[in-house]
């Protein structure tokens, strides 16, 4: 039972200490105990926590296994090129994570002798590491008593503690951190940390939560007050901005043109197809490179080499790619060239199969896979 309530919008004053012990017992019997990074070294714990930022476990596992096969330790990762690292990250999304991971590995080599530091403040100082990620690394790699608060944990605590309000709001997040600290056990912190994440992923899910088998349902305020589906307070839905772009598949002698993006922004550091705001901009690109393509074909078509050897530009079937904050409508434009344009920096011509092995974003991989399967 609860000790009481106050008049604040956060309702909770005291919580029974059985929360942590109940979660620990549940996790040992029903939680995820066979994840490939569990029971390993701090490097692998760090890598997994970075990959798990805003990404589900099932998606992360194959990327994690390929990554550690190529970069088994900090030394190997630090000595790799950014292109090599991003090629292994290709398709996982949020590419700043991969760039920051690489930068952090080089920092660890320079400042910490190639060993992931154990101090929370030093881990927090690494690129791409925030408060919750640093705490998760400390708890699971070094068994340090630290509270975490990722998206899943926010949902668990908002329901259990009856905390209303959008979790992104400063006051609400502050209260969630306070409760996260209060609920920390004195022992078995690594198991408890995993239990919180497992609860959010397996039982206390966003929709259709499995409250009937929850180990703390008797003390859960959302459960007892009939507000499970109301907490956390949903964000106000906003219209997703929509943008358009044309992707150019320029092919010459069986090779395709890729250009490297600047290190910042969407797909920073990745190899991409030349991108234009509008289809007509391709004509300007062609003129700049001394290319005289036939008139742009406006109707959708299938990928296939034209019968003649002239330069020809064809509009393929458009498709959409959804980012976190906007949707991009992409029109692929296929252009066969008898001669390659003059060499430019940050541009390469690669066989399609070779291009598929490089650091490319998901929609580019989708288009190149269609080419490779012809």
Question: Model confidence over 109-121: pLDDT tens digits?
Answer: 999 999 999 999 9
Residue % of the chain over a pLDDT of 90: 74
Q: Can you say whether residue 128 is alpha, beta or left, with left for phi > 0 and alpha for psi between -120 and 50 degrees?
A: left
Cβ pair 89, 51 in contact under 8 A:
no
Q: What is the 3-state secondary structure (H, E, C) of the chain?
A: CCCCECCCCCCECCCCCHHHHHHHHHHHHHCCCCCCCCCCCHHHHHHHHHHCCCCCHHHHHHHHHHHHHHCCCHHHHHHCCHHHHHHHHCCCCCCHHHHHHHHHHHHHHHHHCCCCCCCHHHHHCCCCCCHHHHHHHHHHHHCCCCCCCCHHHHHHHHHHHCCCCCCCCHHHHHHHHHHHHHCCCCCCHHHHHHHHHHHHHHHCCCCCCCHHHCCCHHHCHHHHCCCHHHCCCCCCCCCCCEEEEEEEEEEECCEEEEEECCCCCCCCCCEECCEECCCCHHHHHHHHCCCCCCCCECCCCCCCCCCCCCCEEEECCCEEEECCCCEEEEEEEEEECCCCCCCCCCEEEEEHHHHCCCCCCHHHHHHHHHHHCC
Least confident of 53-62, 75-84, 204-213, 271-280: 271-280
Catalytic residue among 11, 49, 121, 305: 49
Query: In the beta sheet, which residues pair with residue 373?
Result: none
**Whole-structure pTM value:** 0.86
Q: Give me the pLDDT at residue 342, please.
A: 67
pLDDT in tens, 287-302: 777 776 655 554 445 5
Per residue in 315-347, pLDDT (tens digit) is 888 999 998 889 999 999 988 887 777 666 788
* pLDDT of amino acid 186: 94
Domain ranges of the chain: 18-230, 242-372
Active site residue 49: yes
Q: What is the pLDDT of residue 171?
A: 97
CA distance 244 to 246: 7
Taking 70 as the threshold, does the pLDDT of residue 8 lie above it?
Answer: no
What's the rounded Cα separation, in Å, for the pair 191 and 303? 52
Encoded tokens for 118: 């154990």
pLDDT of 229 strictly over 70: yes
CATH code of the region 242-372: 3.90.79.10
* pLDDT of the residue at 284: 82
Q: Are 293 and 286 in contact (CB under 8 A)?
A: yes
Apex CA 57: angle with CA 53 and CA 61, to 5°?
A: 105
CATH number of this structure's domain 18-230, picked from the four choices 1.25.40.80, 1.10.340.30, 3.40.50.150, 1.20.1070.10:
1.10.340.30
Q: Residue 103: pLDDT band by 50, 70, 90 thresholds? A: very high
Q: What is the pLDDT of residues 146-183, one digit of tens each?
A: 999 999 999 999 999 999 999 999 999 999 999 999 99
């Amino acid at each position: 039972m609860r000790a009481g309530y106050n008049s604040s919008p956060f309702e909770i004053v005291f919580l029974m200490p059985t929360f942590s012990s109940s979660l620990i017992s549940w996790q040992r019997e029903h939680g995820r105990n066979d994840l490939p990074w569990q029971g390993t070294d701090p490097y692998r714990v760090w890598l997994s926590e970075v990959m798990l930022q805003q990404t589900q476990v099932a998606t992360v596992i194959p990327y994690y296994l390929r990554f550690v096969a190529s970069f088994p330790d900090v030394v190997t990762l630090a000595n790799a090129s950014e292109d090599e690292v991003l090629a292994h990250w290709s398709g996982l999304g949020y590419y700043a994570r991969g760039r920051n991971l690489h930068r952090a590995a080089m920092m660890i080599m320079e400042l910490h002798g190639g060993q992931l530091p154990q101090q929370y403040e030093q881990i927090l100082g690494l690129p791409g590491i925030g408060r919750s990620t640093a705490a998760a690394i400390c708890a699971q790699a070094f068994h340090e008593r630290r509270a975490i608060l990722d998206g899943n944990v926010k949902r668990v605590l908002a329901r259990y503690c009856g905390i209303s309000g959008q979790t992104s709001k400063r006051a609400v997040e502050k209260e969630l951190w306070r409760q996260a600290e209060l609920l920390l056990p004195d022992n078995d912190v690594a198991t408890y940390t995993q239990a919180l994440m497992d609860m959010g992923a397996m039982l206390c899910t966003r929709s259709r939560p499995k409250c009937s088998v929850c180990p703390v349902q008797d003390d859960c305020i959302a459960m007892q007050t009939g507000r499970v589906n109301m907490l956390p307070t949903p964000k106000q839905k906003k219209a997703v901005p929509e943008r358009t772009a044309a992707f150019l598949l320029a092919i010459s002698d069986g090779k395709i043109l890729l250009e490297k993006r600047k290190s910042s922004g969407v797909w920073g550091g990745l190899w991409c197809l030349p991108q234009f705001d509008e289809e007509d901009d391709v004509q300007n690109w062609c003129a700049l490179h001394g290319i005289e393509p036939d008139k742009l074909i406006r109707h959708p078509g299938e990928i296939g080499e034209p019968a003649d050897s002239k330069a020809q530009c064809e509009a393929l079937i458009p498709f959409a790619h959804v980012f976190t904050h906007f949707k991009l409508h992409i029109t692929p434009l296929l252009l066969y060239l008898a001669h390659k344009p003059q060499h430019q920096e940050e541009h390469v011509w690669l066989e399609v199969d070779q291009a598929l092995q490089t650091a490319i974003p998901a929609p580019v991989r989708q288009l190149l896979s269609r080419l490779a399967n012809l």
